[in-house]
Chains A and B, each alone.
Chain A
Amino acid sequence: DAMVIQNPRYQVTQFGKPVTLSCSQTLNHNVMYWYQQKSSQAPKLLFHYYDKDFNNEADTPDNFQSRRPNTSFCFLDIRSPGLGDAAMYLCATSSRLAGDYEQYFGPGTRLTVT
């Protein structure tokens, strides 16, 4: 059974048209993350939540925002996507009780910007 679910799996949007990516988890992990990954690069952390505490990485563009309405769900909003935002967006979860914050990833949303 899928433990970290991301929707949609593929998203095509137009330059400047807002888009929302979603993530849900059935693991009851208290930490959730959003990563951006481009080809042949390491995943780049955009945001993370520790319980309800939100943390924004210093170099995450203002164009990106996130919401976590409850433990199970997390959203990534891209207000005005640019061509450079085309990437794979990965959601992950972790918990200290689960292998010392070993991360569980969703299948990702591949974003195309036209």
Chain B
Amino acid sequence: QQQVKQSPQSLIVQKGGISIINCAYENTAFDYFPWYQQFPGKGPALLIAIRPDVSEKKEGRFTISFNKSAKQFSLHIMDSQPGDSATYFCAASLVGGGYNKLIFGAGTRLAVHP
């Protein structure tokens, strides 16, 4: 019940296209849903995050869509660029043991071809 399921495992998109990565969760106690971006040889870095009281959050070319009833959320990258090529992790935050514990999805390796 603490899992976050992420798909697809890998994604190839042409430059200028839309990249879509999906995540699903079971535990309705999750109250914070961040996306992290990781470049090769680097640590993950927070990209964008959303709380369950809103259905969408947009920051530049990156948008999170959140469907509370379906317990699903997704990351959309508009006008994808080669520089967006990275591994993307969705996560969910669960308040347990006195702190917010991040549960990560398995990751999606995105390649944007020129």
B is bound to A: no
Interface residues of A (CB under 8 A from B): none
